[in-house]
Structure 1
Amino acid sequence: MPEANRLYHDFYFQDDEVEGYPCESKKAEIENFVREVETPLFLGCTKYTKMSTIVALLKYKATNSLTDSAFDEMLQIFGDMLPENTTLLGSLYSTKKIFKAFELGYEKIHACVNDCCLFRHDLEMVEECPKCGSSRWKVNQRNSKIEKGVPAKVLRYFPIIPRLRRMYAITETAEQLRWHSTHKSQDGKMRHPVDSLAWDRINKKWPSFELDPRNIRFGLSTDGFNPFQDLSSRYSCWPVVLVTYNLPPWLCMSKESLMLTLLISGPKQPGNDIDIYLAPLIDDLKDLWNNGVKVYDAFSKETFNLKAVLMWTVNDFPAYENLSG
């Protein structure tokens, strides 16, 4: 596992390519690693793979507030119950290393408790909100003491550019991301967003974007929910999800293809201040639209400049009101 992690880091973050082509041995190692985590939990198991088991158990850990030691003990018990050829990992540490290898981590960005700003860029070292004066750190409600080092509110951002690079690094996925370019409806019926007026409008307005079918077209969706299922609690969590419409219809809306980008959580919903929390995502989307990013395409075995556009948002009316300010 450490070797796979090192190879992944080298593949994506070092510029040691020759004429845009990364080392073939590195690419092969990454694809082998992807196949490894997609192997069944044990020989003959059809319901769970190594990766889906990890995700299910981590979800159980979070839902039931298991401690790290309790989670490790549970893995040991399950390992003893399963056949000897099981791919179940033995500790929380080893499961986290898999997510790190796939760059599935996230950035913690401190936020103003009153949703005024994010403490990033010019405000990264500031300890009070420049707008409302609230402390960046948690304030003890009993004695009003500032607990320095404990943020009052945290935004979790899952960067999208590393994930796009990872998608194009897998040969099968890189090929599927071209599906839209050869499957446009010929009978006037709409079966996929490629048949929509919005898709055609983008092609006519920015013909250079259309020239490369590998350029990504996103849809954005968000809504709030109470994660504790307690009607007496006002606690709110807003996931912000991107849908990749380049993929064929049986894949683009599958849960495996939906791209979680932001988790906005707190004692109250962000309301019209949601634009404050969308800033990291918007910055990456602007960069992808204006400049593009260097990405290796494993299907065509070449490096190209990937661009992306946000086609539309999909929300109910209350969320639409917040998104539109």
Structure 2
Amino acid sequence: MFDDAKKPLYPGCKKFTKLSALVRLYNLKIRYGWSNTNFSELLSIISDLLPDNNEIPTSLYEAKKTLGALGLSYQKIDACHNDCCLYRKEYANSTKCPKCSLSRWKINKNSTKENNGVTAKQMWYFPIVPRFIRIFKNLENAKNLRCRAMDRKVDGIMRHPTDTPSWRLIDHMWPTFESEQRNLRLGPKRPRYDINTYLAPFGLKILWKEGVQCFDAYKEEYFTLRVVLLWTINDFPAYGNLCGCSVKGFRLDQNMEKRLL
């Protein structure tokens, strides 16, 4: 993997390495929904267009072998159309939602029949633990993740999340968590209505209680990394989605109105 990150795309190429070019191309595949067959054909054509001895893989299979070393694997998990549940664990073989009884499968608009095997909604889950482990294996990243504790100024000015009341509350209530400077605090962006449903695969309870073994490249030692979900990042209407507050019209929640004032 490290060789691919340094290897020029072709002899004399200074702008792209094998890995950087492949990541850019694969990003386009995901963004625009290219099929596997189309992407393989594109790779083959690009390989022919580039100078001889280029490093572009000529098929999706070869590309995935290279990207797999980065820990960029993902899982597709079927979800209820109403976001009630994910079809995993005890619901893995269910054909309808255990809460709202809606079919797992997509409904044909013309005949109103189920397209058996074609899921109505799907979640793409990128496992976070391998990414955390990889972050700390990088010397610069491992050092930067400690800077909040090493170079922190305490002067009453909010310049970093560590200066927020919610951060200090975690430090006060769980001092053992705060004592390990490398522990992570997450803030997912724009969660859905049923945030618990879509956070379930991340295993946050295990990451909070037990943690995971990581190697710190900066201190050259292993440690137990623990993680906490500190807050969510979203816009004003999310108060209604997540907290049940009225956020519009004449029924604007009184407490919300006081906060705005």
Q: Is the 8 A contact 1:184 1:195 kept in 2?
A: no
Q: 1:288 and 1:307 mapped to 2: Cα distance? A: 5
Q: 1:65 and 1:118 mapped to 2: Cα distance? A: 23
- 1:317 deviates by 0.9
Q: 1:103 and 1:124 mapped to 2: Cα distance? A: 24
Amino acid at match of 1:45: K
Q: Residue 273 of structure 1 corresponds to which residue in structure 2?
A: 194
- 1:194 deviates by 2.9
Matched, 1:138 2:57: no
Matched, 1:324 2:243: yes
Evaluate the alpha carbon distance shift between residue 104 and residue 123 of structure 1 in structure 2; reply closer, same or farther with a 3 A threshold. same
- 1:83 deviates by 4.1
Q: Is the 8 A contact 2:186 2:230 kept in 1?
A: yes
Amino acid at match of 2:179: L
Evaluate the alpha carbon distance shift between residue 84 and residue 50 of structure 1 in structure 2; reply closer, same or farther with a 3 A threshold. same
Q: 1:65 and 1:155 mapped to 2: Cα distance? A: 15
Q: Residue 147 of structure 1 corresponds to which residue in structure 2?
A: 115
- The percentage of aligned residue pairs carrying the same residue is 44
Q: What is the TM-score of this pair, normalised by structure 2? A: 0.79
- 1:177 deviates by 2.0
1:89-128 equivalences under 5 Å are 89-128=57-96
Amino acid at match of 2:145: L
Q: Is the 8 A contact 2:4 2:17 kept in 1?
A: no
Q: Residue 25 of structure 1 corresponds to which residue in structure 2?
A: none
Q: Residue 292 of structure 1 corresponds to which residue in structure 2?
A: 211
Amino acid at match of 1:52: S
Q: What is the TM-score of this pair, normalised by structure 1? A: 0.65
Q: Which has the higher contact order (CA 8 A, sep 6+)?
A: 1
Q: In structure 2, which of residues 7, 10, 14 is the aligned counterpart of residue 45 of structure 1?
A: 14
- 1:157 deviates by 1.5
Amino acid at match of 2:230: M
Deviates more, 1:194-203 or 1:90-99: 194-203
Q: 1:304 and 1:143 mapped to 2: Cα distance? A: 57
Where structure 2 has 5 or more consecutive residues not aligned to the other structure, the ranges are: 245-261
- 1:63 deviates by 4.7
- 1:287 deviates by 1.6
Evaluate the alpha carbon distance shift between residue 137 and residue 204 of structure 1 in structure 2; reply closer, same or farther with a 3 A threshold. same
Q: 2:129 and 2:39 mapped to 1: Cα distance? A: 31
SS state of the match for residue 57, structure 1?
A: helix
Matched, 1:214 2:182: yes
Evaluate the alpha carbon distance shift between residue 158 and residue 66 of structure 1 in structure 2; reply closer, same or farther with a 3 A threshold. closer
Q: Residue 150 of structure 2 corresponds to which residue in structure 1?
A: 182
SS state of the match for residue 127, structure 1?
A: coil
1:9-56 Cα offsets, whole Å, 9 max, x none, are xxxxxxxxxxxxxxxxxxxxxxxx24532555454524x443332232
SS state of the match for residue 189, structure 2?
A: strand
Q: 2:185 and 2:200 mapped to 1: Cα distance? A: 19
Bigger Rg, structure 1 or 2: 2
1:227-262 Cα offsets, whole Å, 9 max, x none, are xxxxxxxxxxxxx5xxxxxxxxxxxxxxxxxxxxxx
Evaluate the alpha carbon distance shift between residue 313 and residue 78 of structure 1 in structure 2; reply closer, same or farther with a 3 A threshold. same
SS state of the match for residue 188, structure 2?
A: strand
Q: 1:62 and 1:308 mapped to 2: Cα distance? A: 29
- The root-mean-square deviation of aligned C-alpha atoms, in Å, is 2.7
Q: 1:175 and 1:301 mapped to 2: Cα distance? A: 11
Matched, 1:76 2:15: no
Q: Is the 8 A contact 2:80 2:86 kept in 1?
A: yes
Q: 2:180 and 2:147 mapped to 1: Cα distance? A: 12
Amino acid at match of 2:14: C
- 1:197 deviates by 3.7
Q: Residue 88 of structure 1 corresponds to which residue in structure 2?
A: 56
- Corresponding pairs, count: 243
Q: In structure 2, which of residues 123, 133, 141 is the aligned counterpart of residue 165 of structure 1?
A: 133
1:217-228 equivalences under 5 Å are 217-222=185-190
